[in-house]
Chains A and B, each alone.
Chain A
């Protein structure tokens, strides 16, 4: 038993104290989540992107699931992590994640799943909405408008939003039901599911570092007559996304040494502005 308490202390921050399955979410709860998901990007920022709005969306449901205040705090803290997903498809992720919260999976397992499911939706959503739905509705609307009819605006608005809200609410309910059905399976295989979620989550984070961190230098080296562009001639040939990777790893090392996020953000802002004035960024 001694080793057991030791283990509990170690994983304390990661595991919920109350391990009983959380309160069932009603149709009204899921609808509320879908409405609130409209504000996904309300506190959008460069550091965590949609994290604040994401937490805003699932907050009432989290409160219902975690009646233990410490558990609610742990859960909220986890959900403040970086997130960038497609604002139209986000309720699909929310539904799955709330089912996992109900089954009281540990925090890192839930966060890994969130990243793994949410991140790929960006590309799918862009193709569905910006490249398909919007051009179709906009084309029909503009055509009618150019012929002087107010029906262009009205038809556009109705067509677009029927699809938009059907998907938003439909996905929310579908994903939640699917997630709840999987609860017994997940509950029985907690450790294996956590391991699998970590594999997918960490792989996607590796990909996100290469995709989302944009850092390149405008430095040039004058070697006699030849001008060597440091970014395109050297770094890009050595390794694509080299600077983003290095910068992320530096940030990671500093976070582990106890630097606060605010300090790192200020450091990054000063670097960006100084780099622009000095002409190397």
Chain B
């Protein structure tokens, strides 16, 4: 079965929309059980689309993005995989195997985007300084647009040109560079925390920082448990100093005048 450029284009757009839904919107129309029938509809074979979608849903069921770890990309896997399954008649599982390089490619694109958006945050700081709300909004829309375009091409290229031709693109990508950016991405929150600490850290709070670190690093407690323990510490302080409340109130009145 031949795929027309219009069909490939529509499937690319479907990847654009589903790609945004994975991180934003979260209606989960990007799950195989929904995407499969949509791909089938575009290719004129709804029934196969439904069946492939059902099979792939079970494949990806256990692969949720837990604690920030990204599983193989479900959208490209489903759209490209379902397309090959419908047009060539191979089983859904085999078709997904063909789609994997492109699922990896889109993951690389996401790594690049998350790296490139990091310096943009300083631009947002400047917008914030000027109370420029439009600037903040535009940066967010820009991020969405770039992400969607990545998805479009990662679906359109293999579908239109065939997996073996488009595969050459994927292999041409500099793997060490992207992996290096991925490593840098893992370290990068340190910069975010450093900036937070510049605002919030005072010497009297250093003990609490140490306690939080020890609880997470050595005791491996969940953040919720640590936050609850910290709340208990805060409440002890809160209740102990109750007798000074009256003086605090007076001070505030002075400030007001």
Contacts and interface: CB of A to CB of B under 8 A. Distances in A.
Contacts, number: 409
A219 interface: no
B125 A261 contact: yes
Contact of B194 (A51, A123, A124, A254): A254
B196 A46 contact: no
A53 interface: yes
B66 A130 contact: yes
A206 B208 contact: yes
A189 B130 contact: no
Interface in B203-217: 205, 208-217
A207 B192 contact: no
A49 B53 CA distance: 32
Interface string A36-60: 0011111111111101110110010
Interface residues on B, range: 35 or more
A266 interface: yes
Interface string A106-134: 01100110011001101110100011001
A207 B118 contact: no
Contacts of B25: 38-39
Most buried by A among B23, B25, B227, B241: B227
Contacts of A88: 26
B136 A59 contact: yes
B181 A272 contact: yes
Interface stretch (B83-91, B93-101, B149-157, B246-254): B246-254
Given A130-B66, A138-B31, A200 B234 contact: yes
A51 B118 CA distance: 11
Contacts of A139: 61
Main secondary structure of the interface of B (DSSP, over half): helix
Interface stretch (A21-29, A171-179, A222-230, A238-246): A238-246
Contacts of B142: 43
B191 A251 contact: yes
Interface string B46-66: 110011011101100100111
Report the 9 A-B pairs with minimum CB-CB distance, sorted nearest first: A272-B184, A206-B212, A145-B54, A273-B180, A82-B192, A214-B186, A46-B188, A276-B180, A45-B117
A277 B176 contact: yes
Contacts of A131: 64
A153 B184 contact: no
A41 B187 contact: no
A39 B140 contact: yes
Most buried by A among B33, B210, B224: B33
B222 A120 contact: yes
Given A81-B199, A260-B122, A213 B57 contact: no
Interface in A166-221: 188-192, 195-215
22 contacts: A4-B255, A43-B117, A46-B118, A53-B24, A73-B131, A81-B196, A82-B196, A87-B23, A111-B200, A120-B227, A126-B67, A145-B33, A149-B50, A153-B53, A161-B28, A188-B249, A206-B216, A209-B212, A239-B217, A241-B213, A273-B183, A276-B180
B121 A45 contact: yes
B139 interface: yes
Contact of B217 (A111, A116, A210, A265): A210
Contacts of B216: 206-211, 241
Nearest to B128: A76
A43 B125 CA distance: 13
Contacts of A138: 31, 33, 57, 61
